[in-house]
Amino acid sequence: MRVPVLLCALACLSAAAGPADRSCTDLRQFYTGKGFLLAGVPQTEISGEHLRTCPQGPTCCTSTMEENLAGLSSQETEGLIREAGRSLQAVFNALYRSFDTYFTELHSHSERSLQEALSPLGPLYSQNTRLYDGLYSDLRQYYRGSSLNLDETLTEFWSRLLERTFKSSTPTDVILSEDYLECVAKQQETLRPFGEIPRDMKAKVIRAFVTARSFVQGLIVSGEVVKKVSQVSLSPECTKALMKLVYCPHCRGLASVKPCSNYCSNVMKGCLANQADLDPEWQNLIDTMIQVASSFTAEPSLDVVLSSIPVRIYGAVRFLLENMETFTTKVYQTCGAPGEPGTGSPGLHEQKKKSGSLTASEYKPSPTAGQRLEMQVSDLSSKLREMRQYWTELPVALCSKLAAGASNQDKCWNGITKARYLPEVMGDGLANQINNPEVELDITKPDMTIRQQIMQLKIMSNRLKNALDGNDVDFQDASDDISGSGSGMCMGGHCSRNRPGLFAYSPDNNRVRGGATSLPAAILLLQR
């Protein structure tokens, strides 16, 4: 009878000694692999009453290790968020470069065609090239972010062109004072010497340039919002939840067990609750940018408006020359006669006679020009749609790297042990986290940096909506009022106020990857 009793006693002693003798070799290797020193790391499991975040019980983690791993989990998650943000910034920067290249090429092509369209005007073109070039320079500066008033700029152009054309049709021995020419210029609105061309061209050019400038500003502001929000630090409550999610399994000897997907979702939705509050205004801005992009192809399309500027100017000048006698008579009635014309000078009749033979090639857009614009708009719109739900998809993207697959939901880490996770998944945004079991949040204290960026999105959306109506409101960054740093555009050295540079970093990838996919955009960004 003594042998069975002895065996039983040995078995009991063996069972009691087992947990205490369990080796911590795997955790020691893992811990040093993360860059920490082995000093103070146990060789075998110890009692876990000291743990403050992980479930208490036999463990290979000391309090110091728990703190170190908690900080690491937060750093790594912040790194993933910044990585996704940089990828999204790269997409916005690439979209900007694509559209900017297209638009500036349109502008340059229109400017190059000036000579061909206006050379039949003779001295009216050759002696006034600075006037025509100045118009294109002003339009370029406006697009680049200058504070020019486009309506006033175009009105001034037509006034100066009226002065030059009237002066060229006046006999050379008649002296026209600056005051007299100013009186002539003032007749533009009442007498309409160029017909309806200036008014029609002004409406179309203003709409084209206002929408184009607002669109590129929308792309830039969106990228800067992503940058600022992606750099927001995670809260201490989030750090604690991430430690429990990511590294507590290692402390419990369950290193190979991945977190349950719903558990991970609750942690990430809690950690990114403020970021998710961007979603309504973010989607509003994206939708408005898509709407603006679509307006580029509406009649008259963007390429037609820009490319037809020289021919419109030619048509306006020719209209005036053909009706110069009538116009001059009315000017004399209003401004008085400047002097008696000399008999031997090339006067009004001679100029009118010459104008009858003026010809200029009408603008006929090539078939490929329209196709290129359609492709440009289609590409912009499709890429923007992929980003539409970025902030609510970001938790899903992060968990795709961390959590167990659908087939392992009964054998995953649920924050306590290896078993199914039972709590329901929270909704998106701060208000929906009031009952989040994983992250303690005060829903009455939103993150102010993110609130500032929500206002930035709202201001940009309103600017784009005004642009759709052809209205150019004075653009003021939300951050000018709140944080003191702008998110406007400053290109080509022409700015109305001090603004930051266009790109905050040099993206590694100049091409926009994309295409039809069913995966969330944030997941694609994290996988790049």
Residue 477 · residue 459 · CB < 8 Å: yes
The residues pairing with 59 across neighbouring beta strands, listed in sequence order, are: 46
What would the mean pLDDT of 123-127 be, rounded to a whole number? 92
Instruction: Give the pLDDT confidence score for residue 354 in this predicted structure.
Output: 45
Is 482's pLDDT higher than 60?
no
Collapsing DSSP to helix, strand or coil, 23 comes out as strand
Binned at pLDDT 50, 70 and 90, residue 378 comes out as: very high
Residue 263 · residue 422 · CB < 8 Å: no
Instruction: Give the pLDDT confidence score for residue 478 in this predicted structure.
Output: 38
Alpha-carbon distances, residue 422 vs 395, 398, 437, 438 (angstroms): 19, 21, 11, 12
Taking the CA atoms of 393, 397, 399 and 405 in sequence, report the sign of the dihedral they define: positive
The residues pairing with 46 across neighbouring beta strands, listed in sequence order, are: 59
Residue 394 · residue 81 · CB < 8 Å: yes
Residue of 233, 301, 278, 257 whose CA lies nearest to 390? 278
Is 422's pLDDT higher than 70?
yes
Token pair of 237 as six digits: 């409550």
Instruction: Give the pLDDT confidence score for residue 301 in this predicted structure.
Output: 93
Main-chain phi, psi angles of 285, to 5 degrees: -65, -45
Q: Alpha helices, DSSP H only, in 144-259?
A: 150-168, 178-185, 188-191, 197-230, 236-246, 248-251
Please provide the average confidence, as pLDDT, over all residues in the chain: 83
Binned at pLDDT 50, 70 and 90, residue 488 comes out as: very low
Three-state SS letters, 187-214: CHHHHCCCCCHHHHHHHHHHHHHHHHHH
What would the mean pLDDT of 35-46 be, rounded to a whole number? 94
How many C-beta atoms lie closer than 10 Å to residue 360's C-beta?
18
What would the mean pLDDT of 221-231 be, rounded to a whole number? 97
The residues pairing with 23 across neighbouring beta strands, listed in sequence order, are: 44
What would the mean pLDDT of 325-354 be, rounded to a whole number? 63
Instruction: Give the pLDDT confidence score for residue 456 in this predicted structure.
Output: 97
Is 127's pLDDT higher than 80?
yes
**Quick one: which H or E segment has residue 116?**
helix 114-118
Over pLDDT 70: what percentage of the chain? 80
Residue of 509, 496, 486 whose CA lies nearest to 221? 486
- Express each pLDDT in 161-191 by its tens digit: 998 998 888 877 777 888 888 888 888 888 8
Instruction: Give the pLDDT confidence score for residue 21 in this predicted structure.
Output: 59
Domain ranges of the chain: 72-255+302-338+447-478
Is 425's pLDDT higher than 90?
yes
Over pLDDT 90: what percentage of the chain? 68
Main-chain phi, psi angles of 140, to 5 degrees: -65, -45
